[in-house]
Amino acid sequence: MDMNRDTVNFPNLPQATRNGLPEWLSSPPPPVIRKRNYSLTKLEIDLRKSYFEAIYDEVMTAMEEGHSLDDIMECDSHGYTARQYLKWIMADETRKEQYYEMQKALAEYSFANEIIQVAKGEDSLEDTSRSRLTVETLWRWYETVDRDRFVKSKQVDQNVTINLGEAMRAADRRIDERQMIDVTETRYEE
């Protein structure tokens, strides 16, 4: 019997893939992305907008109850994606502000209930590392949604505190207001 390593076969072990790793350890093949070969007609765009307007209040209510936009749109039978709906929301300043206010309310509710439960670890078999990761991830989301409420202020001096969120917005405003000056090099001939 030839005991060459290349010819030994262990039937109970998974076969290696082309990169030498077992199939269960290899990354799946990249998804095939198909480009649409058509553009939407004006009628289709108008139908989408009118449908989005019709379900707006229901979607906002469902999101306030803690459902994700992905889950809501996945349950919808019309086949629209969360990305399409969010793009529609962001196209209008009033809807965008209502969306941000809803997120702030959701963050406040989540902070008052969910993060405390996770931190306590009651009714959960999660380990400490997983609970900490969950709390930190939620906290980052809170900071993104409502900077004024959840961004930590740093005390610089006993008499001065700085809200870092407001300081960053002020710096952004100063950059936006600054005018660019075109300076070109000129050479003087002697």
Domain ranges of the chain: 42-91, 99-169
Dump pLDDT digits (tens) for 61-107: 888 887 888 888 888 888 888 899 999 999 999 999 998 888 888 88
Distances (CA, A) of 125 to 20, 128, 129: 36, 9, 12
From the first residue on, what is the mean pLDDT of each consecutive set of 10 residues in the chain (190 residues)? Answer: 48 54 69 70 88 91 85 85 91 91 82 75 71 81 76 64 83 77 61
Structure pTM? 0.52
